[in-house]
């Protein structure tokens, strides 16, 4: 079988099983299998595939049909123009989370040695992107999962920022309390899906760690704790920035208000959905 035919067969299989972006997913799977760049792939369409490659393609495409995200097969996801290692222990970084990184960048007014904490770091995509962009940043990344922290540490080494990020295992802000040092920025993409939303997750999202997705009955548990504890850890004038589910903006903004944050803003993502809440800590 030629590469072109394998691509078509795989695309048809994905279309029949309603895999999102089936043709692109089939191409990316084949590129991974053949270790090809896009150009190598496009210029090799008439190449005959070895029987072993065909067998592997069949096996991997079945895994995708059963809901395994492509990124857990390739072990890679691009975020903010950087490639990150991912595995089943971490959430796959989403394009809309890039907005969280951009929002942090707009809140910085050229501090020397800016101190940033990322709570629930997962793959480390947010804090590592920030560390690569702000060379003088001193960063802390917290996650409750030891396995996730191992992925984040690997990514930090991959992007040469490991010496500027302290990784701590623990539950939300707990490992930073009582506050010994204060942060200019606390950023978090916490688990925020409600019990109801967890029940209606697409097959592929169900393969991601529930620990990174489930935010309690109404999805707001982490925001209650973050908004209550962050003021103890932020400098005067520092900011808390969180990603939210699109229907949580009002509730999360109220929590910011109840905990005396000022200049509360709700930012929308590229789809026009509420996605980020920001507040300033004034003491
Ligand atoms: N945005 C993710 C989803 O919709 C959820 C991520 C999270 O809970 N932080 O699947």
Three-state DSSP state, 250: helix
| Residue 72 φ then ψ, to 5° | -80, -15
Cβ distance 61 to 10 under 8 Å?
A: yes
Spacing, Cα 233 to ligand 1 middle (Å): 25
Hey, which of 94, 198, 271 would you mutate to test ligand 1's pocket, going by the most ligand atoms within 8 Å of its Cβ?
A: 94
C-alpha span between 54 and 62 (Å, rounded): 12
Nearest CA to ligand 1 atom 2: 213
Cβ distance 13 to 5 under 8 Å?
A: no
Instruction: Using DSSP bridges, classify how beta strands 115-119 and 183-188 pair: parallel, antiparallel or unpaired.
Output: parallel
| Closest ligand 1 atom number to CA of residue 189 | 9
Cβ distance 250 to 239 under 8 Å?
A: no
The residues, any chain, with a CB within 8 Å of residue 106's CB and separated by 6 or more, are: none
Spacing, Cα 204 to ligand 1 middle (Å): 12
C-alpha span between 21 and 140 (Å, rounded): 36
Hey, which of 77, 123, 125, 189 would you mutate to test ligand 1's pocket, going by the most ligand atoms within 8 Å of its Cβ?
A: 189
Cβ distance 78 to 129 under 8 Å?
A: no
| Closest ligand 1 atom number to CA of residue 214 | 8
What one-character-per-residue DSSP string does 230-243 give?
HHHHEEEEEEEEEE
Tens of pLDDT, residue by residue, the chain (283 residues): 999 999 999 999 999 999 999 999 999 999 999 999 999 999 999 999 999 999 999 999 999 999 999 999 999 999 999 999 999 999 999 999 999 999 999 998 766 789 999 999 999 999 999 999 999 999 999 999 999 999 999 999 999 999 999 999 999 999 999 888 799 999 999 999 999 999 999 999 999 999 999 999 999 999 999 999 999 999 999 999 999 999 999 999 999 999 999 999 999 999 999 999 999 999 8
What one-character-per-residue DSSP string does 116-179 give?
EEEES-TTSHHHHHHHHH-TT-EEEEEES-HHHHHHHHHHHHHTT-GGGEEEEESSTTGGGPSP
What one-character-per-residue DSSP string does 201-222 give?
--TTGGGS-GGGTB--TTS-HH
Hey, which of 213, 241, 270 would you mutate to test ligand 1's pocket, going by the most ligand atoms within 8 Å of its Cβ?
A: 213
C-alpha span between 189 and 168 (Å, rounded): 16
| Closest ligand 1 atom number to CA of residue 215 | 8
- How much is the pLDDT for 111? 65
Spacing, Cα 148 to ligand 1 middle (Å): 16
Decide: 205 in ligand 1 pocket, CB within 6 A.
yes
CA 180 distance to own-chain centroid: 28
Spacing, Cα 9 to ligand 1 middle (Å): 32
């Amino acid at each position: 079988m030629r590469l072109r035919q394998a691509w078509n067969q795989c695309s048809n299989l994905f279309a029949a099983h309603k895999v999102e972006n089936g043709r692109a997913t089939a191409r990316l799977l084949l590129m991974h299998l053949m270790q090809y760049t896009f150009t190598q792939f496009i210029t090799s369409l008439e190449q005959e595939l070895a029987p072993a490659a065909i067998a592997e393609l069949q096996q991997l495409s079945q895994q995708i049909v059963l809901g395994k995200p492509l990124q857990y097969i390739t072990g890679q996801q691009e975020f903010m123009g950087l490639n990150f290692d991912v595995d089943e222990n971490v959430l796959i970084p989403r394009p809309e989370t890039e907005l969280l990184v951009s929002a942090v960048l707009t809140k910085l007014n050229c501090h020397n040695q800016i101190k940033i904490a990322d709570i629930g770091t997962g793959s480390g995509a947010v804090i590592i992107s920030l560390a690569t962009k702000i060379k003088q940043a001193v960063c802390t990344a917290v996650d409750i999962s030891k396995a996730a922290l191992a992925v984040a540490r690997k990514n930090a080494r991959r992007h040469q920022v490991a010496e500027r990020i302290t990784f701590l295992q623990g539950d939300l802000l707990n490992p930073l309390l009582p506050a010994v040092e204060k942060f200019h920025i606390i950023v978090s993409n916490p688990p925020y899906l409600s019990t109801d939303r967890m029940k209606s997750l697409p097959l592929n999202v169900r393969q991601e760690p529930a620990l990174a997705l489930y935010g309690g009955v109404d999805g707001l548990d982490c925001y209650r704790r973050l908004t209550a504890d962050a003021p103890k850890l932020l400098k005067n004038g520092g900011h808390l920035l969180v990603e939210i589910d699109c229907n949580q903006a009002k509730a999360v903004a109220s929590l910011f208000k109840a905990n005396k944050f000022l200049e509360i803003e709700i930012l929308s993502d590229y789809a026009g959905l509420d996605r980020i809440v920001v507040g300033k800590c004034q003491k």
